[in-house]
Chain A
Amino acid sequence: MRKYNLITGIIWLVLAILIFFESLNLGLGTLYFPGPGFLPVLTSIFLGIFSILLILESMIKKGKKEESVVIWVPEIRWKKILFSLSFLIIYALSLEKLGYLLSTFLFMLFLFKFIEPQKWSVAVFGSIVAVLLSYIVFGVLLQSQLPVGVIGKIFHL
């Protein structure tokens, strides 16, 4: 954990420095009439202080023994997370182009089939049910504006 604390501490410190200079640009205003950069500067100063404390803490404790913390899981599980995230991003990218019904169907199918594998029949059936039910609830009953995309345009939905 110590190594990760050091890394995250450095990230926060860099962020604090960035916020600090950007806030100075925004203008501090006066004490009587604090400007848009006033509280951000204070925030960045405290963020800087605590990230330095975190960094120091992770360096000082070096001598002491520390039980190893298993942070990252075996490869197979890792892949599941990476794949789900990639599917999610692709889904978000294609949502407006392909339209809700098609892109959601594909997204569901991929999740059902490839993350925690199920039979094809189950995956296809599950995806269809999920798409239709969610469309009825959100698109029809709650009248959310779900993207129509290519298919919608063809059928003038």
Chain B
Amino acid sequence: MDIFNNILYGFQVVLEPVNLGFCFVGVFFGTLVGVLPGLGPAAAIVLLLPATFKLSPIPAIIMLAGIYYGGMYGGSTTSILVNIPGEAASVVTCLDGYEMARKGRAGAALGISAIGSFFAGTISIIILSIAAPALATIALKFGPPEFFSLILMGLIILTYMARGSLIKALIMALLGLFLSQIGMDTVSGRYRFTLGMLRLSDGIDIVPMVMGLFGIAEILSNLEKDAKREVIKTKFKELFPNLDEWRRSVGAIVRGTFVGFILGVIPGGGAIISSFISYGVEKRVSKHPEKFGTGMIEGVAGPESANNAATGGCFVPLLSLGIPANVMMALFYAALLIHGIQPSPFLISQRPDLFWGVICSMYIGNIMLLILNLPLIPLWVQILKVPYKTLFPLIFLFCVIGSYTINNSVFEVFVMIFFGILGYLFKKLGYEPAPLVMAFVMGTMMEKAFRRSLSMSDGSFLIFLNRPISAVCIGFALLLLVTSFIFYYKYYGKKRESLIDG
């Protein structure tokens, strides 16, 4: 009954007033950024990361996690009421959620997405608390070759899952690797690619980089659009779905939960893709697939459950292997490092307070979110009315403060502006920043594992193929790369895009 003791211990940690307080702050901010279009959870986490520097790691990670899964709750509100996704994982919720709202069933749509989110969130945390320690025990036996191959496989799956051109995604991943190599080489002590700038000797900091790529770039492309929002007026008396809607939603929620969790664990998966896949699954199992897009509650319940389950799922590889599965987890990886914790298979045994505390905070956070998102919906609707022209100067300001306070230097602000411009151009030219960020975060560890492996094997590359786990990973990565290139050239880009979109 080890796990029960551990969970009990976790609750002891999270019920300390400080931790409980930051859990609330996290889910509150999460819902807020989820509700506000134009500010995703990735940007929000980086924005608040510098604010956690002074905190101890447990409340800091609890709060950042709260922002992530809180964002998934909030995102549906905007999708349903305004037909603009509050964040990317709620794009599909627009399809049927908004139609439901137009038919006067906004309350039911909001209600089912909060309830589905709660169910999926809770189930995924339960699986997480069982799976992560088990996986970590296996991973303790991994050596440098296994880690190198795992990371390589992860990066390749991630680029494969990226939208749009495969070549561009691979280029982005390689650029990320290159960026991670800037600064002092830890083995030889030599400076690499610093262009003579002393500031670059420690390498590029992830915070201004991600703030630029996700924060500044996002504002710039929003400034292009004329954002006019019309909030559907609804009475919020009826937040509970009726009996028929319940009956139709139960299956969708359960299916969404499992689809979401599994896709969360897979590299490059996560909340966004799982919501799309879940929508596809619902459409396929439905007896009336033609009615999707006209306000089917299954099309809301499934994806909204899936994106929440995914948030639990993607913590599994991070907390058990020390390898992030997607960009959001890469940010958590960076956050843990900033707080002096190296994510690895040893994390659970060395910092049980952190692991179990964060897990249990998610149980509590989900309950808080249910309360925040059902009775308090009218409050969020008010916030939706804050116009973007009031909002964007503040986001700019937060980005500047955040990047300045990392080292108290303007240099980081310029790094942020540089990546902001780059990110804006990437967006325009069809380059997705996710593979770049992932490769950047994993680059250092990958290089270390690579060099250690070669030292172990006296310089033979066969070490990556002689060890079964490593060989399977490399083999799978190669297979994926080869087949996707064949697929890519056979049915060129457009079809691939429509496959993912559909």
Contacts and interface: CB of A to CB of B under 8 A. Distances in A.
Contacts of A144: 50, 401, 405, 408
Interface stretch (B67-75, B169-177, B229-237): B169-177
Interface in B407-431: 408, 410, 413-414, 417, 420-421, 424, 428-431
Contacts, number: 160
A77 B193 CA distance: 36
B410 A93 contact: yes
Contact of A43 (B181, B400, B424): B181
Nearest to A122: B390
A88 B417 contact: yes
A138 B397 CA distance: 12
Contacts of A85: 220, 417, 420-421
Contact of A39 (B175, B216, B447): B447
B476 to A, nearest CB: 19
B185 interface: yes
A70 B226 CA distance: 16
A84 B51 CA distance: 25
Given A40-B181, A54-B171, A84-B219, A35 B390 contact: no
> Which of B216, B392, B394, B455 gathers the greatest number of chain A CB atoms within 10 Å?
B394
Contact of A30 (B165, B216, B459): B459
A107 B455 CA distance: 53
Interface string A28-48: 011111111111100110110
Interface string B207-229: 00000000010011001100000
Given A71-B429, A144-B405, A34 B454 contact: yes
Contact residues of B: prevailing secondary structure: helix
A116 B393 CA distance: 10
Q: Is the interface of A mostly helix, strand, loop or mixed?
A: helix
Interface in A9-30: 12, 15, 19, 22, 26-27, 29-30
Interface in A89-126: 89, 91-93, 95-96, 104, 107-108, 111-112, 115-116, 118, 126
B94 to A, nearest CB: 22
A50 B175 contact: no
A157 interface: no
A132 interface: no
7 contacts: A1-B429, A39-B450, A43-B178, A84-B223, A115-B392, A118-B390, A130-B397
